[in-house]
Amino acid sequence: MPVMDTLPGSAPAVKLVDVTDVPFDLSIATARTCYSGKGIISPEDVSRTPEARAIRDRIAKSTLQAGHLTTRQHVHFVFAIDNVSRHLVWSFLHSHPFYNSEQVSQRYVEVKSDRFYVPSSLRAAGRERELGFYLDAVTYSVGVYRELLGDLDAPAEAEFYKIFPARKTKHETWKKTTHKKSMEAARYILPVGMHTYFYHTINGLTLHRYRRLCLACDVPEEARNLVESMMEAAIAADPLFAAEIPDSIPLEDTTEYRFFKEFFDPNPEVASRNFIREFDQDLGRRTSRLVSFESNAVEVLASSVRAVLGATREMLSDEVAVDLVLNPARNSHLSSALNETTLSRISRSLLNVHYTFQKKISHTADSQDQRHRLVPGARPMLMKHFTGHPDYVTPALIREHAASFEKYQAAMNVLFEKINRFLDAGGSEEEAVYLLPNAFPIRFFESGDLLNLHHKWKIRTCYNAQEEIFQASVDELSQVRDVHPAIGRWVHAPCRIRKEAGVRPFCPEGDKFCGVPVWNQDLSQYKRVI
């Protein structure tokens, strides 16, 4: 078992690169403006005199106590964050709608072997054995990743040149492009505890919420360390604003903790196996299964369009109303790269139709899927889905290449044995979750309105989209077509929508064109390996 002389650091690297001027005074200035007969109250006004500061402090206390907190949303913090695990990002930072992140991609950037999270609890004296098992699992996974990167280059190139045969004569030119396809598939074996770096922008209210709920996630130790570092940066920027941020809820007071304590199961892995069996039986062979929808969705959508326009049924039939809002030739906003549909009155009619799906995709795919913040899902405490047996998703490129598929399956068996060994040696669930592979399935339910699902389906049925989200979107759209053909017939890949809207070029990806004229294909023909 390898024990590194120098372990990767466990402390997050947090830098506040931009922040609203005078956050505290701004938040109170916005509150005072609501009741001002003298016009806009400036941040300078609320702290100009001792009397103004007394009013400011009183308003701050009363609005905070009453929960009138939209004033704190005018304040923004932009953090540059490094040395945190991808699992923390999935479990905590991206598990809600109110943020923006730009994160380094494992699809396009090779992972460095020493860039992974080691819980500080494993560094304590007397835990050398558990630490050794932990590092052994990480080292093994990263080693297989390196092997797969090389093994998959040839099959990735073969698939690429099936699509672009003329490019084969310029092999060196396209070598980096095809290698990225190898990276996309090989990363499935990597642990979710690998480090990441990114920009993360939140408003002041979200920072309040981070502090309060940082312990209510899969990895409370890492989350607490990150939030405390963010708090230190906020205190340096504005001590008054940071001072009103509440303390964290103790882990034992969270709803999830209370449930697991009340319903303690001496055989949690048996319960997990029963859950997995039940969930997968319900899901069947699909990636995503439609489980809830309004039977009268077409009528509701049409009525909503008529209400926007002040039109009667005699003036505008259901069929014409749906055509008006969903046909790209008539609603040009649907083909716009700016996605301005939320500002279009008629497009907002799509908000009144909803769908719910039962889904199973890998951790690495869901890390992208959850970025569709307005199509939210209720995601699990991940180790509560751990059964002790190999459980993983296999990307198509590996599945289609026999030698790599055999190596991948064998490696997953070994990796899950190593995780079990770590747990048997005394490792905790909080520590073990970092060892799960990117391929570990996320089983959850996800709902959205048609406006935001339309945007998601449009960009995720592009052949350049992440493979599993592509397949889930095709699954979802095919089922929507079955229950609501008048709606589903209008949703396609972006190039097809642009073609129907008369926008050229049909493909918006430029030199990243997938090589397939998808704009001429029906949804039933959508199929890809890379």
Structural tokens at position 38: 């003298």
pLDDT, residue 267, reads 77
For residue 325, the SS3 value is helix
Cβ–Cβ < 8 Å for 179, 148: no
Count CB atoms within 10 A of the CB of residue 235. Answer: 14
Percent of the chain with pLDDT over 70: 98
User: How far apart are alpha carbons 369 and 310 in whole angstroms?
Assistant: 37
User: How far apart are alpha carbons 142 and 145 in whole angstroms?
Assistant: 5
What's the pLDDT tens digit per position in 374-394? 999 999 999 999 999 999 999
* CA-closest candidate to residue 416, choices 371, 386, 446, 376: 386
Cβ–Cβ < 8 Å for 403, 151: yes
* Placement of tokens 């964050």 in the chain: 81
What's the pLDDT tens digit per position in 403-444? 999 999 999 999 999 999 999 999 999 999 999 999 999 999
Instruction: Decide if pLDDT at 3 tops 60.
Output: no
pLDDT, residue 4, reads 52
pLDDT, residue 1, reads 54
Cβ–Cβ < 8 Å for 398, 148: yes
In sequence order, what are the beta bridge partners of 494?
none
What's the pLDDT tens digit per position in 511-524? 899 999 999 999 99
CA angle, 499 then 371 then 77, to 5°: 120
141 CB contacts (<8 Å, ≥6 apart)?
189, 190, 191, 411, 415, 435, 437
8-state DSSP, 313: T
Cβ–Cβ < 8 Å for 487, 334: no
User: How far apart are alpha carbons 321 and 302 in whole angstroms?
Assistant: 5
Instruction: Decide if pLDDT at 448 tops 70.
Output: yes
CA 393 to chain centre: 17
492 to 165, 250, 251, 496: CA distances (angstroms):
26, 47, 45, 6
Average pLDDT, the chain: 95
**At 416, which helix (H) or strand (E)?**
helix 402-424
* CA-closest candidate to residue 350, choices 392, 304, 287, 388: 304
Find the DSSP H helices in 20-107.
Answer: 23-33, 50-66, 86-88
Cβ–Cβ < 8 Å for 85, 93: no
Cβ–Cβ < 8 Å for 97, 376: yes
Cβ–Cβ < 8 Å for 99, 93: yes
User: How far apart are alpha carbons 147 and 325 in whole angstroms?
Assistant: 50
What's the pLDDT tens digit per position in 163-209? 999 999 998 999 999 999 999 999 999 999 999 999 999 999 999 99
Mean pLDDT of the region 257-274: 80
For residue 6, the SS3 value is coil
pLDDT, residue 19, reads 98
Instruction: Decide if pLDDT at 30 tops 80.
Output: yes
- Banded pLDDT at 14 (limits 50, 70, 90): very high
Cβ–Cβ < 8 Å for 97, 371: no
Structural tokens at position 24: 């505290």
